[in-house]
Amino acid sequence: MSISSRFWRQSLKAVRTTAMVGALVAAAAPLSAQTAGYGTISGTITDASNAALPGVSLRIVDTDTGIARTVTTTEAGDYRADFLQPGHYEVIASKSGFAEVDRKNLLLMVGQNLGISLAMPLESVQSSVTVTSETPIIDTEKTEASQDVGEKLVRNLPSNGRRYDNFVLLTPNVAPDGNTGLISYRGVSGIYNTNLIDGANNNQAFFSEARGRSIGAPYVYSLDSISEFQSEASAYSAEFGQAAGGQINAVTRSGTNITHGDLFYYLRYPSLNALDPVGKTQGIFTQTVHQQQQFGGSVGGPIIKDKLFYFFTYDGFRKVNPILYTTTSKTPIADLTCPANVSGTQCADAKSYLESLFGAYPRLLKQDIFFPKLDYQLNPANHISADFNWQNFHEPNGYNSSATAVNSSPSQNGTANFHERIAIVNWNTVISNRSINQALFQWSRDLETATTNSPGPAVSISGLAGYGETSALPRAAFPDEHRWEVGDIYSTTRARHTIKVGVDLNFIHELLINLFQGDGSYSYFQGSAQTNFSNWVQDIYQLGGGQHYNGFTQVNDPITHEGKDDFWNKDLGVFAEDSWKVTSKFLVNAGLRYDVQLVPQPPRPNVSSTIANYYTSDINIDYHELQPRVGFSWQVMPGTVLRGGYGLFYGLTSNSTYYTIRSENGVFQQQYNVSVGVFKTDANGQPVAGTYPSYAPAFPNVFFTPPGPPVGAAFAGAAPTQVINTNPPLGVLSARGLDPHFLNPYSHSTDVTLEQQLPGKMSLSIGWVGNRAMRLPVFIDTNLARATQTRTYDIVNGQGQTQSTVTVPFYTDRVTPDTGSLLTGFSVVNSWYNSMAVTLQRPFANGLEVLFNYTWAKAIDGGQVSGVNGTFNGTDTPLDPFNLKAEYGRSDLDMRNRFVGSLVYSPQVNFIQQRELRYLANGWTFAGTATEQTGFPVTAFMANSPGKLDGGVTNGDLSLFNSPTGGRAPQVSRNAFPGPGLHNIDFRTSRSFPLHDQIHLEILAEAFNLLNQQNRLAVSTTGFQYLNPSTTSASCPSTAHSNGCIAPYTSTPFETTTATSSVLYGPRQLQFSAKLNF
């Protein structure tokens, strides 16, 4: 069957299923009243005695374009105009016998329901009333917990990188999920958010992030193309779905009746920027951003006045940002010692090679974006908007996008490429003066590829260095994702009710080509950096048989030979809502949404054993994702609003997770593990006989030919890599799977907020948000037989003195010997989040805009992994896989205090009489953002593990790579240690010089991290190491210990700073810019 025919056959079946549920949802007719990509103006019209006026004609005019909409009030005097483009509006009310009322200077923002109620005097009293006032300070129609970031803030606040969705971090109830720009809402992983552009889904389904990804392209949409956006944290409309976290609802700019545009150039130069503190400690004296240039412009205007408009943006980005490779070892490489069987020349050559891995290596980023858009008022009843975003990104050494890479090297990097093509069409049709329909179509392609800098295998020397082809490269298509989206929303107003029903159908084609871990990966984690170096340096010359490593993993694909998968995913949703204006001061929104995520079943389950077949045969489709939503807004008194709501919100499981059960299940991609663990040594420090199985390779050989360049020697004189298949038994084949009852996560979210208008055009709001997230994933080895024995460890200090003991289960057997480890996902982790959010804001007026947000929050869970590590089989590895309750504690995303203050100030100095001085004093704008936040908690991990089955002190811990890991230290709880906070001020000053009429030249200077605060953005999390009792060990002497020892890891002290630069923050950067506005 062809892909096309298969697509339509599956799609029709899915649509029929969704339509049946949709009919039930529509019949129920509840839900909340925001609109993706648009805004709403509504209100109540009364006479002078406050009695409702039916039949009033309201002409709602977009004063930017001249496009008007006419609506009529209901019997209750209510009116509503949905699907209005954000911008400036005028509302004109008229009715025979009454004076015409004209309300001017209204600003409508994306997702906003702007309440404009009017009182109409009798015509005998006066013929017309013109009200020229600003937009109300408090939004009386708003029921959800959300915050708009308007055009004034987007255009004037300093933005480190000019990525629009980073502005979400200005809002409450969010926290950075890692240091790349991923964002957590309400303590939920950042991969469960939804990103919308002009009402269309802007997520990449494979990695569950906004297109371009937080660690990939700097941005996909130019900041010049974005008008404004709304950050929605809780109780948002049932129109919005497929997110257990938050919603980012953005709208692009459009042309108006006046031609406007700009040309811009932004420059950073190395002599103006501070050095990276971690780099300086290791003798690396170069800036993390060496040079950065952003240039381009936008223009928009009328093609036919009041009818046809255009807008266009070009954005170019060039960046020279060296990547700093550092080591956590406190012992200089030159001071490391080699075993006696390594010659002096060999020792010097090996250390010289490792030293060459560190330092600053070049990285030149190139990106181009083109964005054309047309808006066409076809006739008074039909408006069509169409835009196309074209983006290409290319960056050598850009696969690892971090500013600093720890214990790694350039050989573990590659060239990253992104190609984004996004076409969106919206068609709004006014059916009557009370009904409107909005249709949406999207076609897009998201292609990510990456090459590799070196051949396999990969080598990890714990606490010291890493080199060789990284496990994730090369990537010929990862993903090549096409999305077809069709949506439709019908809205009608009847009496005091506005009812919406809608459908959103997403058909996603995934093509993946990536043989993960096909390189072959060796790991050395016997103990300290010195011990690990000693073992590696013998193996690099194949001394003692080349077998001093602690583990080896390689994946082979005997079917597609390249790790290929090709499937369709369908994300389908329907909703209905009722916005009921109970009184003119009390609004209730109630709604119901239904979603379903359809993914094809694994084509070839793993039948090597009963348990493997059980966990690799089924992808569970949840057909029960009904989501009630309710919200209210009560104008307690003029200037005071109480609002609140509750909602059930289902998220989507990342397609990368489904990819693992379909393609990394031990059939298509077969993972071979040689697990040695921390081995015992003889008097000469060599592994005792029988440590390595007969099929174990001699370092640096591999079982199968790795993808990428031909294999060879790491450096001259080193043993060359050879492909030697030692025929490892099928019983060691590892696999990945899902519990047949695995389900998508969801959140119960509740909020209550009190907002009070203050003097000086300000408002203060205080709110509570509570969230209960359910069915979050965790991954464990299901091919572990229940433990029949325990193991006791002595917790010792650096002198080998026992401080305490700890006893844990110890796993020694597999359920079946026919399968190796079976990393399986279960949707069983739950979380709690509670917050108090305080917002002080002042919309831009008289030259000043203020937005201050403070959030106190507490997040606890049973081991939810943060979004930055949450794709594929991302997991917080539990200490004991069969006692998940022991993991309950502070969340990885538990940020207790966060304050962000933003200010834009454009003073108008009119009291100076002298023309020249007044000219110099005016035209200035000052803007800045201050961020103060406490840190996320830190878990203390083990540097190594004692067993040969899996990892950890229980011998049952697997990493997200389905390979043994050191696991967490057993004597302290998960996330027991406080992590470092952040202190950052970004500042911008600009001066506008009028050149001619509407032409202005603007000169800008920006400072990111103005005070050059040293922010500890990453710390070492390795706190302890396992030691076998030995006569030669100072920390675990066999004369004092019969148990194995857990000792402090001293090669890199726990919570040592490992990075002070990231995508979001870093040492001080100065940027100078020029903009020509016309």
Range 801-804, long-range pairs (CB < 8 A, 24+ positions): 802/1040, 802/1041, 804/971
What is the rounded distance in angstroms from the CA atom of residue 635 to the CA atom of residue 232? 21
Cβ neighbours of residue 484 closer than 8 Å, sequence gap 6 or more: 442, 443, 506, 507, 508
Write out the two tokens for 435. 């009904």
Q: Residue type at 410?
A: P
- Residue 2 pLDDT exceeds 60: no
What is the rounded distance in angstroms from the CA atom of residue 441 to the CA atom of residue 204? 17
Instruction: Assign domain 31-132 to a CATH class.
Output: mainly beta
- Residue 683 pLDDT exceeds 50: yes
Q: Which residue has the tokens 């406490």?
A: 934
Per-residue pLDDT, 180: 86
* Residues 393-429 as b or e (16 or more Cβ within 10 Å = b): bbbbbbbbbbbbbbbbbbbbbbbbbbbbebebbbbbb
**CA-CA distances (angstroms) from residue 642 to 146, 309, 377, 511, 858?**
14, 40, 38, 49, 24
- Residue 32 pLDDT exceeds 90: no
What is the rounded distance in angstroms from the CA atom of residue 529 to the CA atom of residue 537? 12
Most confident of 493-497, 884-888, 1049-1053: 884-888
- Residue 96 pLDDT exceeds 50: yes
- Residue 16 pLDDT exceeds 60: no
- The residue length of the chain stands at 1078
What residue ranges do the domains of the chain occupy? 31-132
What is the rounded distance in angstroms from the CA atom of residue 497 to the CA atom of residue 777? 40
H or E stretch at 79: strand 78-84
Per-residue pLDDT, 285: 84
What is the rounded distance in angstroms from the CA atom of residue 569 to the CA atom of residue 652? 11
HSE-CB for 872 with a 13 A CA cutoff: 19
Write out the two tokens for 381. 């009843």
Torsion over CA: 611, 612, 618, 622 (sign): positive
791-815 pLDDT, tens digit per residue, is: 999 999 989 999 999 999 999 999 9
- Residue 879 pLDDT exceeds 90: yes
What is the rounded distance in angstroms from the CA atom of residue 656 to the CA atom of residue 658? 5
Per-residue pLDDT, 34: 58
Per-residue pLDDT, 12: 53
**The pTM is what?**
0.91
- Average pLDDT on 104-116 reads 90
Per-residue pLDDT, 399: 94
* Residues 234-247 as b or e (16 or more Cβ within 10 Å = b): bbbbbbbbbbbbbb
CA Rg, the chain, in Å?
31
- Average pLDDT on 836-845 reads 95
Per-residue pLDDT, 132: 62
- Average pLDDT on 265-271 reads 90
996-1024 pLDDT, tens digit per residue, is: 888 999 999 999 999 999 999 999 999 99
* Residues 755-787 as b or e (16 or more Cβ within 10 Å = b): bbbeeebbbebebbbbbebbbbbbbbbbbbeeb
Contact 474, 707 (CB under 8 A): yes
Contact 404, 1019 (CB under 8 A): no
**CA-CA distances (angstroms) from residue 947 to 269, 808, 810, 1026?**
51, 13, 9, 10
Strands 308-320 and 359-361, bridge-based pairing: unpaired
Q: How confident is the model at residue 293 (pLDDT cuts 50, 70, 90)?
A: very high
Q: What is the mean pLDDT of the chain?
A: 92
User: Where are any strands of DSSP class E within 724-801?
Assistant: 733-738, 746-758, 762-781, 789-796
Q: 687 or 947: whose pLDDT is higher?
A: 687
Contact 744, 773 (CB under 8 A): no
Cβ neighbours of residue 914 closer than 8 Å, sequence gap 6 or more: none
Maximal CA-CA distance, the chain:
110
Q: What angle do CA 696, 874, 617 make, to 5 degrees?
A: 75
Nearest to 936 by CA among 888, 875, 981, 878: 981
- Residue 885 pLDDT exceeds 80: yes
What is the rounded distance in angstroms from the CA atom of residue 347 to the CA atom of residue 541? 10
- Average pLDDT on 264-270 reads 92
Strand order in the sheet with 323-326: 359-361, 323-326, 404-406
- Residue 30 pLDDT exceeds 50: no
3-class SS of residue 164: helix
3-class SS of residue 407: coil
Per-residue pLDDT, 325: 94
- Average pLDDT on 655-676 reads 94
Determine phi and psi for 635, rounding to 5 degrees. -80, 95
Torsion over CA: 6, 9, 15, 16 (sign): negative
Cβ neighbours of residue 551 closer than 8 Å, sequence gap 6 or more: 522, 523, 525, 673, 674, 675, 676, 677, 963, 964
Share of the chain above pLDDT 70, in %: 96
Q: How confident is the model at residue 133 (pLDDT cuts 50, 70, 90)?
A: low
What is the rounded distance in angstroms from the CA atom of residue 620 to the CA atom of residue 739? 8
Per-residue pLDDT, 31: 35
Cβ neighbours of residue 124 closer than 8 Å, sequence gap 6 or more: none
What is the rounded distance in angstroms from the CA atom of residue 346 to the CA atom of residue 96? 99
Determine phi and psi for 352, rounding to 5 degrees. -60, -40
- Residue 29 pLDDT exceeds 50: no
Q: Which residue has the tokens 């013998």?
A: 538
Per-residue pLDDT, 276: 87
Strands 113-115 and 39-47, bridge-based pairing: parallel
What is the rounded distance in angstroms from the CA atom of residue 412 to the CA atom of residue 459? 9
DSSP 218-275: S-SS-GGGEEEEEEEEES--TTS-S-SS-EEEEEE----SS-EEEEEEEEE-GGGSPP
Contact 464, 329 (CB under 8 A): yes
Nearest to 952 by CA among 525, 499, 419: 525
- Average pLDDT on 636-654 reads 97
Determine phi and psi for 54, rounding to 5 degrees. -80, 160
Q: How confident is the model at residue 262 (pLDDT cuts 50, 70, 90)?
A: very high
What is the rounded distance in angstroms from the CA atom of residue 907 to the CA atom of residue 926? 9
The helix, strand and coil proportions of the chain, stated in percent and rounded to the nearest 5, come to 10, 45, 40
Give yes or no for a cis peptide into 710 (omega within 30° of 0): no
What is the rounded distance in angstroms from the CA atom of residue 557 to the CA atom of residue 565? 11
Nearest to 509 by CA among 602, 443, 440, 596: 443
183-240 pLDDT, tens digit per residue, is: 999 999 999 999 999 999 999 999 999 999 988 899 999 999 999 989 999 988 999 9
Nearest to 489 by CA among 713, 239, 668, 140: 239
**CA-CA distances (angstroms) from residue 150 to 170, 410, 661, 850?**
12, 41, 43, 12
Question: Quick one: residue 789, left, alpha or beta (phi over 0 = left, psi -120 to 50 = alpha)?
Answer: beta
Contact 281, 327 (CB under 8 A): no
